[in-house]
Structure 1
Amino acid sequence: MYQAHYHNRLRSWPNTWFAAAAVDKPLKHVVFEMQLSDQTPTIEDPAPRQLHGDGGGGADLTALFSDELLLRILAAVPDPLRLPASLVCKRWLRLVGHLRHSLTLLDWSFLDRGRLFLRFPDLAELDLVPGSFASPSSVAARGRVLLSWGPFSVTVDADADSPVGECCFLQPGVIDRGLETVARSCPGLRKLSLVASDSETGLMAIAGGCDTMQELELHRCSDLALRPIFAFKNLQILRLVGSVDGLYCGPRVTDIGLTILAHGCKRLVKLELSGCEGSYDGISAIGRCCMMLEELTISDHRMGDGWLAALSFCGNLKTLRMQSCRRIDADPGPSEHLGTCPAIETLQMQRCQLRDKRSLQALFMVCEAVRDVVFENCWGLDNNMFALVSICRRVKFLSLEGCSLVTTEGFESVVLSWMDLQRLAVISCNNIKDGEVSPALSSLFSVLKELKWRPDSKSVLAGTGMAKKGARFFRRL
């Protein structure tokens, strides 16, 4: 009895399903007809097709399935198992290629050979940046090193004074020919990442061949490279990378390029400027022309003085994100000229240096109506600098992570001043102590809808489940 129960428990669901279906006469008849037709040679098919890889020469029942039906079956296969499934036969290899919609190119030669899109004909997202780096051919193998920066890994010359520079990219003509191939072969492309060149040929080909393009990422971008941007009629998300410290130094994106962008992409919803220059004129042009802009990310900027005041022209801006910025605005100008962003909801500061009190105060004045404030691993954020955020009176969510200079006293003085606060997260802030939490702060914790309290690994409340239970946790105490 135990053996019979153990056998039934280990029976897989396909065996159970077919065992139950065997009593179904129509299904049994269909399976018999499939086997019979595959075992009977005809003039068109003189030899029965075999299932590749079974070693026993069994008949391939999937040969009777249409491509559409077999494609639906393969689509249900988990992603890690699709590669083994593509090795069954050439037909399965071709069909599995139709299921791949996102691809990162590591070797440009695969694009030049023209077989990339025969293998993956339905690509919707394509990243060409890693394959756009050229390895130095004149250096011996022992003189090469592999440089990794974020998602990129490139071979550089260890003996050169500047190991990574313009010479590490493919020639503009090679990139343009590759982009023309992409335009001809991927008309349904929606997202593309590439290294820009001053030639308009490549981008114009992409704009003409890929009508559904919605997201574009341009590395080593310049003002000249933005001239064809007007041809992308449906572009909604744009990321411009002028230069990356430690990886490459490209040409500049200035107010000229930002103005070209503003007049050419009026349907833009999300914009990221990384390593770009500019000033009040460029940002104000974007605010005036891109009326649908809702999200702006400024990363490692080289903006000129006074650019913060131009944010007030972004009337529908909801999210402002600043990442890896050494400064905010050296000279924001008089406070009465700053203005505000009326629709702003979220302000995020990630890995920024916040040591200039005047510029940080100007930023909070521009974002006075913000609802969510996030500080993540920001340098220089002490009690005096953190106290400036109290300018924003409508905050409902605050997140502090990796801000070790803020103490419990400075944190409490700001948090208790917000009457609308509903959610709070404090993570890895070592100078905020459990033992210094006052009764007033404890009372605030009890009415919050969401609370994540892990200021350090020694926190008494860190392992109590308070982060998940919030106010319900305190009501049971």
Structure 2
Amino acid sequence: MSYKTERPSNPSSPKKKPKCPSDFIFSRRNSNSGDNKTLQKVMFAMHLQSLSPGHPSSKLGRNPNTKSLISDLTLLLPDEIMLKILSKVPKSQHNHNYLVCKRWLVFQGRLVRSLKVLDWDFLQSGRLTSRFPNLTHVDLVQGCLNLNLSLDLDGSVVLMTHKLVSATIGYGIFVEHNNMLLSNEKIDYGLKVLASGCPNLRKFEVVAASELGLLSVAETCDALQELVLHRCSDQTLRGISAYRNLQVLKLIGNVDGFYSSIVSEIGLTILANGCPRLVKLELCGCEGSYDGIKALGQCCQMLEELTFFDHRMDGGWLAALSYCENLKTLRFQSCRSFDRRPGINDYLESCRALESLHLVKCQLREKISVRTLFAICAVVKEIVIQDCWGLDNAIFGIASVFRRVKHLSLEGCSLLTTEGLESVILFWKELESLRVVSCKNMKVSEVSPALSTLFSALKQFKWRPGTKSMSDLHNTGIGKRGRKFFKKS
């Protein structure tokens, strides 16, 4: 049997006061240190400041006392400091911060910068701007859909997708796709509410906005620099002329299966005269002609990147690209043809500042059209060709007009052979990088000694024309020279 003895308490000795949480926070190993006293003075000063009427904690309707200060020390910090602290928290923890208190919920709403709107009523009622007042990027494309038409009788929905836009809709939309969008009046009112609540807006995406709706945003959001317009027309572009600081613009006129609108040379001329600071322009499903592209080149002197997606341009428009004197990057994607009536190449001028040419999923079967494009881009240093139809040895042989190419990337060129590749790149004396992927007609056994020597001298080299890897080239002698820069992948 064991006994437990207790030391008798001394009634004359004073009882120790239990430590409060603030004492644990500011306690240190060295109790004689002067830092402990300094921290206690700071704590006392913050306590006095929190009792003042102007402190943020008083604005929340709370009367701070000693217990509330101990339980929630964040009440002692001003809103600006709390915003800086919460902005450093990883995004994975943001949802947990919403649940702490109402004050943190407001802080997290003020930290959100980008948002995709799915419910237009949430925007139109003003709840979106009051909940997220500091938005800089808003995507309104999905919210512009008429959700009342999205459901058929049994409530089932489907996902209709395109390269430019995708949406969850009902089967009835395929029959009446013209009614799938909200009315212009409702969209314009939503833009007005968005502009009044988010004056720091820098980018937004919208469908079927009218001239008045765009003007309402331009009057309030002076810092707006990037704009994406779906179902855009010549009349809509009159409102874009009010965005004097606009630098990045994407116009989507015609999307098969979704909506159709016309952007002609009239709209391109209005755009050129209204937005002289454009740096990047993307035209998707837009019409136009020589005059429209010429106006863009003459008025938009800062234009450096130009993209054409499934364009519907009239014949002879390619020659107008020479007016874009500062153009550095030219992209074509999903284009059936470049120019059906390009004219005589002897009178064409090249883009003198052009550095990069990208061709993605385009038709390259017309020799005259391809020859005109390559003549205009004769000074490029980078060429990227990906999944283009009709690129055989004859078409690729036109690329011999290029003399300054340093980087070449070929992907999905199934008709091009090793012989066709060799007939061109052996004359490129400045070539430094080569990438060949998924070009099934290129064989390792067809690599000549001259081509092998060129491969060995490259700084960056990737050869995967089929399912075989880079290791299969070891027996060909490639890589014995230039080991320092030879990159296997």
Indicate the TM-score class for this superposition, using the shorter chain for normalisation: 0.7 to 0.9
TM superposition shift of 1:150: 5.0
Answering whether residue 333 of structure 2 is matched by residue 323 of structure 1, we say: yes
After superposition, give the CA deviation of every residue in 1:7-49 in whole Å (9 maximum; x if it has no partner): xxxxxxxxxxx999755846545666788888xx989736666
SS of the equivalent of 1:472 reads coil
Query: Which of 192, 206, 209 matches 2:220?
Result: 209
SS of the equivalent of 1:394 reads coil
Query: Which of 314, 318, 321 matches 1:311?
Result: 321
Query: Which of 401, 422, 431 matches 1:421?
Result: 431
Aligned counterparts, 1:227-238, within 5 A: 227-238=238-249
Which residue of the partner structure matches residue 152 of structure 2? 139
Give the greater-gyration-radius structure (CA). Answer: 2
Answering whether residue 123 of structure 2 is matched by residue 104 of structure 1, we say: no
Answering whether residue 106 of structure 2 is matched by residue 94 of structure 1, we say: yes
Q: 1:49 to 1:139 in 2, by over 3 A?
A: farther
Asked if the contact 1:421–1:448 (Cα under 8 Å) also holds between the matched residues in 2, the reply is yes
- 1:91 maps to amino acid: R
State the alpha-carbon separation in 2 of the partners of residues 63 and 278 from structure 1: 60
Q: 1:88 to 1:333 in 2, by over 3 A?
A: same
Which residue of the partner structure matches residue 175 of structure 1? 187
After superposition, give the CA deviation of every residue in 1:216-271 in whole Å (9 maximum; x if it has no partner): 1111000000012221111111110002123x122100111111111111111111
Q: 1:321 to 1:462 in 2, by over 3 A?
A: farther
SS of the equivalent of 2:484 reads helix
Answering whether residue 256 of structure 2 is matched by residue 245 of structure 1, we say: yes
Query: Which of 391, 402, 415 matches 2:412?
Result: 402
- 2:194 maps to amino acid: V
Which residue of the partner structure matches residue 463 of structure 2? 453
Q: Which moved more, 1:117-126 or 1:169-178?
A: 117-126
Asked if the contact 2:26–2:40 (Cα under 8 Å) also holds between the matched residues in 1, the reply is no
After superposition, give the CA deviation of every residue in 1:185-204 in whole Å (9 maximum; x if it has no partner): 1111111111133x322111
State the alpha-carbon separation in 2 of the partners of residues 29 and 428 from structure 1: 71
State the alpha-carbon separation in 1 of the partners of residues 124 and 231 from structure 2: 22
Which residue of the partner structure matches residue 447 of structure 2? 437
State the alpha-carbon separation in 1 of the partners of residues 310 and 302 from structure 2: 24
- 2:392 maps to amino acid: D
- 1:225 maps to amino acid: T
State the alpha-carbon separation in 2 of the partners of residues 20 and 367 from structure 1: 71
Equivalent residue pairs, number: 447
State the alpha-carbon separation in 1 of the partners of residues 332 and 51 from structure 2: 69
Which residue of the partner structure matches residue 294 of structure 2? 284
Which residue of the partner structure matches residue 274 of structure 2? 264
Which residue of the partner structure matches residue 207 of structure 2? 195
Aligned counterparts, 1:347-362, within 5 A: 347-362=357-372
Unaligned runs of 5+ in 2: 1-24, 53-61
* % identity of equivalent residues: 49
After superposition, give the CA deviation of every residue in 1:81-118 in whole Å (9 maximum; x if it has no partner): 11212221111111122221111111111101211122
Asked if the contact 2:459–2:486 (Cα under 8 Å) also holds between the matched residues in 1, the reply is no
Which residue of the partner structure matches residue 113 of structure 1? 125
Asked if the contact 2:444–2:473 (Cα under 8 Å) also holds between the matched residues in 1, the reply is no
- 1:330 maps to amino acid: R
Query: Which of 34, 53, 63 matches 1:45?
Result: 63
Answering whether residue 367 of structure 2 is matched by residue 376 of structure 1, we say: no
- 2:135 maps to amino acid: L
The TM-score with structure 2 as length reference comes to 0.84
State the alpha-carbon separation in 1 of the partners of residues 351 and 471 from structure 2: 38
SS of the equivalent of 1:461 reads helix
Q: Which moved more, 1:119-128 or 1:205-214?
A: 119-128
State the alpha-carbon separation in 2 of the partners of residues 209 and 462 from structure 1: 62
- 2:225 maps to amino acid: Q
Q: 1:379 to 1:437 in 2, by over 3 A?
A: same
Root-mean-square deviation (Å): 3.0
SS of the equivalent of 1:373 reads strand
Asked if the contact 1:320–1:348 (Cα under 8 Å) also holds between the matched residues in 2, the reply is yes
Which residue of the partner structure matches residue 148 of structure 1? 161
Asked if the contact 2:463–2:470 (Cα under 8 Å) also holds between the matched residues in 1, the reply is no
After superposition, give the CA deviation of every residue in 1:166-199 in whole Å (9 maximum; x if it has no partner): 21111100000011111111111111111133x3
SS of the equivalent of 1:320 reads strand
Which residue of the partner structure matches residue 19 of structure 2? none
Query: Which of 220, 236, 239 matches 1:225?
Result: 236
State the alpha-carbon separation in 2 of the partners of residues 383 and 110 from structure 1: 56
- 1:256 maps to amino acid: I
